[in-house]
């Protein structure tokens, strides 16, 4: 039901172009579809709006893992953990990124 979710989020961005959650949620949809370039672009837009938006950094790390960019993933996930040091999800993603680097 990604199509059903995407349309209202696009409407939100039309009215509120700086809505960080809409950017992030659209990035999640793109990631789920396997469109990693679009997902990265949308998360970068979310981060440009709010540099401390944990979810965007964590998902950006996952995008980089999926695209084989271990160093970029480690950097993004370290940033995520700097924002939310207690995130088990970010720690797991960081472990995956470090394992992929080997």
The pLDDT assigned to 4 comes to 84
Whole-number Cα distances in Å, 48 to 21, 58, 101: 12, 15, 27
Local confidence band at 69 (pLDDT 50, 70, 90 cut-offs) = very high
In this predicted structure, the answer to whether residue 38 has a pLDDT above a threshold of 80 is: yes
Local confidence band at 3 (pLDDT 50, 70, 90 cut-offs) = confident
Rounded to whole angstroms, how far apart are CA atoms 7 and 69?
Answer: 30
In this predicted structure, the answer to whether residue 101 has a pLDDT above a threshold of 90 is: no
Q: What are phi and psi of 49, to 5 degrees?
A: -80, -45
Rounded to whole angstroms, how far apart are CA atoms 30 and 36?
Answer: 7
- Mean pLDDT on 66-78: 97
The pLDDT assigned to 24 comes to 97
Positive or negative CA dihedral for 53, 32, 62, 72?
negative
Local confidence band at 102 (pLDDT 50, 70, 90 cut-offs) = confident
């Amino acid at each position: 039901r990604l199509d059903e979710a995407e349309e209202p989020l696009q409407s939100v961005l039309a009215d509120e172009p700086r809505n960080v959650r809409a950017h992030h949620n659209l990035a999640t949809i793109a990631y789920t579809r396997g469109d990693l370039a679009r997902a990265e672009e949308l998360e970068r837009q979310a981060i440009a709006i709010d540099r401390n938006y944990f979810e965007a950094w964590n998902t950006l790390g996952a995008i980089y893992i999926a695209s084989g960019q271990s160093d970029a993933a480690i950097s993004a996930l370290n940033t995520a953990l700097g924002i939310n040091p207690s995130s088990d999800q970010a720690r797991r993603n960081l472990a995956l990124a470090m394992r992929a680097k080997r």
